[in-house]
Amino acid sequence: MARNRVIYNSEALIVSEAATSTGKTKHEQLQRVQSANYSFNITRQDVNQFGQLGRLDSLILEAPSVSVDFSYLLGDGFNEQALGFGESNTFAVGFASGHMSQQSGVNLYIVTAADGTDAIQAGEAAQSVLGVGNAYVTDYSLDASVGAIPSVSVSMEALNINADSNLSGEMAVEISGVSSPAIDQSAGTKLAFSDVHLCPTTTGVGDLTALRPGDITLDLGFATSSAGPLVSIASDANGAHVQSASLSFSMSRTPIERIGTKFAYARPVDFPVTASLSVSAIVNELTADNLVDIIGNEEGKTIQLTFANPGGTAQSSFKLTNAKLDSESISSSIGSNKTVDLTFSTSIGGPGDAVNNVLFSGVNAVVPFA
């Protein structure tokens, strides 16, 4: 009987440690995934000539563009570690450091189980696996707001995409017969191996299902500065009442191509990379300050965004060092609260740069790919 549809319970999103990974232990299922989208676009060049209206041919002159984006609920840092982001309980490693060096990217797999079956249910056979090869992170965005569970959105660019349906093994035990979507970038050909082993699993779920906005702490170092925002942003009741905070950074990559290859042999990050933090709040107090003083005092501040569990123990924390105020917008109108929108930014430095960076700390104890 033909399948009628595919819904979320039948799918699992899995990431590899590297593009060349094949073993079951070198793949991890991402937790709390909310959405996953993928697409590819082929650019062609028409070949025409005088004396003929229709084209002679339509040639592919550059590698197709494969795009992937997915979102998940922020947790204890397991997903961030599995995706290759830097993590240290002492904020000693740059968050984006794992994606700055030259590499071959990672592979993503979307495993689909039978209709009406959970993808993490043992004993069931996988129906299909869609693979995305040589994927690189291009955008990371964290959103936290009143009335919503903190969530993360990740965008990636990849080189190849494929699908398999002739599989063997059981869900949540081991699936074999999966073809690797990765390619040899320099040669522009498929890798020699094809038998990838996957295992959708509930490992690392833990007791914390999701973080809550009531357990978020935003410490803006500018609150103690004499040259900061005009609105009071102290961390206590005397400061503006924060409604939302969004942290994002883009790691755009320029493909480097050469004659004789079908694919870009490298996709290095375009530097410099800047991280931005946007904060929206309800105004309650103004602070004595002057734009002239803000311009005259260019000292950066440290901003920390902490997500705790109901007991008050921090689960994930982001720290922006040497952050500076870029803009402040205050709005007031009849029938609504007076609000302020603030934008801060910092430059992302090298892996060990603690002066200019975005640092991350998570309590996850399950080491990915161990």
* Spatial contact of 308 and 287, defined as CB atoms under 8 Å apart: no
> SS3 letters for the chain?
CCCCCCCHHHEEEEEECCCCCCCHHHEEECCCEEEEEEEEECCEEEEEECCEEEEEEEEECCCCEEEEEEEEECCCCHHHHHCCCCCCCCCCCECCHHHCCCCCCEEEEEEEECCCCCCCCCCCCEEEEEEEEEEEEEEEEEEEECCCCCEEEEEEEECEEEEECCCEEECCCEEEEECCCCEECCCCEECCCCCEEECCCCCCCCCCCCCCHHHEEEEEHHHHCCCCCCECCCCCCCCCEEEEEEEEEECCECCECCCCCCCCCECCECCCCEEEEEEEEECCCECCCCHHHHHHCCCCEEEEEEEECCCCCEEEEEEEEEEEEEEEEEECCCCCCCEEEEEEEEECCCCCCCCCEEEEEECCCCCCCC
85 and 129, same domain (yes or no): yes
Question: Which CATH number goes with the domain that contains 35?
Answer: 2.30.110
pLDDT for res 318: 95
pLDDT for res 230: 64
- The domain tally of the chain equals 2
Residue type, 304: Q
191 and 221, same domain (yes or no): no
314 and 166, same domain (yes or no): no
Residue 2 within a domain? no
In 3D, which of 369, 27, 18 has the Cα closest to residue 198? 27
* Spatial contact of 271 and 329, defined as CB atoms under 8 Å apart: no
Residue 203 within a domain? no
* Spatial contact of 108 and 163, defined as CB atoms under 8 Å apart: no
268 and 190, same domain (yes or no): no
Residue 335 within a domain? yes
226 and 296, same domain (yes or no): yes
Residue 208 within a domain? no
Question: For every one of its 370 residues, what pLDDT tens digit does the chain have, with 9 covering 90 and above?
Answer: 467 888 999 999 999 999 999 999 999 999 999 999 999 999 899 999 999 999 999 998 888 889 999 999 999 999 999 999 987 777 878 899 888 876 788 999 999 988 888 888 877 888 899 999 999 999 999 999 999 999 999 999 999 999 998 888 888 889 998 999 998 877 777 887 778 999 888 655 566 789 999 899 888 876 555 556 766 666 656 667 889 999 999 998 888 888 877 777 778 888 899 999 999 988 887 765 566 666 666 678 899 999 999 889 999 999 999 998 888 898 999 999 988 898 999 999 887 888 899 999 999 888 888 8
Domain span including residue 34: 8-40+61-198
Could you tell me the CA-to-CA distances from 345 to 75, 143, 174, 312, 342 in Å, in that order? 24, 16, 44, 28, 10
* Spatial contact of 77 and 360, defined as CB atoms under 8 Å apart: yes
pTM: 0.91
